[in-house]
Amino acid sequence: MSRLASALLALATAAAVAVAVAARPAVDVTATVAFGEGYTPLFGFDNILRSADDRTVSLLLDRTTGSGFISSAMYQHGFFSASIKLPSDYTAGVVVAFYTSNGDVFPKTHDELDFEFLGNIRGKPWRMQTNMYGNGSVSRGREERYVLPFDPTTEFHRYSILWARDAVVFYVDDVPVRHLRHARAGRDFPAKPMSLYATVWDASNWATSGGRYRVDYHYGPFVASFTDLALAGCRASSPTEEGCADALAASDPAVMTLAKQQAMRQFRERNMVYSYCYDTRRYPVPFPECDLVESERSRFKDSGHRLALRRRRVGRRPPNKADM
């Protein structure tokens, strides 16, 4: 090949690559990855079971150890998601967590966004907790707790954390359950690169009725399974980070349509059983991001706990005459 021809070919190739890069969305919130493409075992290596196709991973907690995995990269904003099936039967003291954090890198000023699932005694439902810390705001826990409108131990359900520049949205399946705006949360809003973590561990000291019920290993091993793993994140300190954050801000999970706001309100009305916003014993002055709705406030005690929850729509008992 002549010098000119090879130069032209190089130019054409470069142009083709540039077009391909430009055409590819900077962030694809629908893509899922195999475990090995995005994650690394973190602890309890023998208790991490990967499926043959590497798209499902089970984390076990037994007498010897819990287990966990971490994303191989750190992200500055992203959409992190997994379909999760929780351990069934007696799970008091067991915690399954799916969260972003940078506590290993910034121990004093860490950021964190959490889904935590708190096990229970037999016949009582798992509770789900969400939380946020920013820049080491560990003295200002922003816990909210919910019951789920389905049994999370029989099928996989999708749990997602959208962390964009302006807001964080937690999703259960396609329903937003919590929306935290940067402008309202201010300096407590996560602002530094984070990794994604999934863990199962023994939280006997606090998870169930404040530690009254401990993990009973007769019912173990406790198995939490994760699939549909999504890591649509903006790689920290990569040249495309800014464009990626823009794309993320415009992506579906970041857009709170009226219908989504309505679905979120309904989920919270029906399922939220604790909110830091109503916990005036702990926080006499509410946080700037709290929308204190008077009709909602009347359903909570000053400890932040729900007075009495309407009967769960998905019950294990068939309805009796008195209910009809």
Ligand X SMILES: *[C@@H]1O[C@H](CO)[C@@H](O)[C@H](O)[C@H]1NC(C)=O
The contact set with ligand X (CB under 6 A) reads 109, 135-136, 187
Give the C-alpha separation, 318 to 110, whole Å. 47
CA dist 22 and 156 (Å) reads: 35
How far, in whole angstroms, is CA 102 from its chain's centroid?
Answer: 15
**Neighbour-count burial of 320, counting CB atoms closer than 10 A to its CB (0-12 exposed, 13-18 middle, 19+ buried):** exposed
Q: CB of 109: closest distance to ligand X in angstroms?
A: 5
Min CB(284)–ligand X separation in Å = 23
Return the H-helix or E-strand segment holding 23: helix 3-23
Residue closer to ligand X by CB (options 178, 182) is 182
Q: Is 155 a catalytic residue?
A: no
User: For this structure, is 241 an active site residue?
Assistant: no
Identify the three-state secondary structure at position 322. Answer: helix
d(CA 274, CA 259): 24
Which residue, 106 or 150, is less far from ligand X as judged by CB? Answer: 106
Q: How far is the CB of 197 from ligand X (least distance, A)?
A: 22
Residues 6+ apart with CB under 8 A from 87: 61, 94, 96, 119, 153, 200, 222, 223, 224
Q: Based on CB atoms, which residue is closest to ligand X, 9 or 138? A: 138
C-alpha dihedral (201, 202, 207, 209), degrees to nearest 10: 160
Give the separation between CA 220 and CA 88, rounded to whole angstroms. 10
Q: Smaller CB distance to ligand X: residue 135 or 227?
A: 135
* Residue 185: both structure tokens together: 């949360």
Out of 37, 112, 242, 296, the active site residue is 112
Q: Which of the residues 37, 116, 155, 296 is marked catalytic?
A: 116
Q: How far is the CB of 111 from ligand X (least distance, A)?
A: 10
Minimum CB separation of residue 190 from ligand X in Å reads 11
Q: How far is CA 69 from the centre of its chain?
A: 14
Nearer to ligand X, 139 or 295 (CB): 139
CA–CA dist 97, 130 (Å, integer): 10
Q: Specify the residue, 44 or 103, whose C-beta has the smaller distance to ligand X.
A: 103
Residue 16: alpha-carbon gap to chain centroid: 38
44 three-state secondary structure: coil
Shortest distance in whole angstroms from residue 75 CB to ligand X: 18
Could you list the active site residues?
112, 116
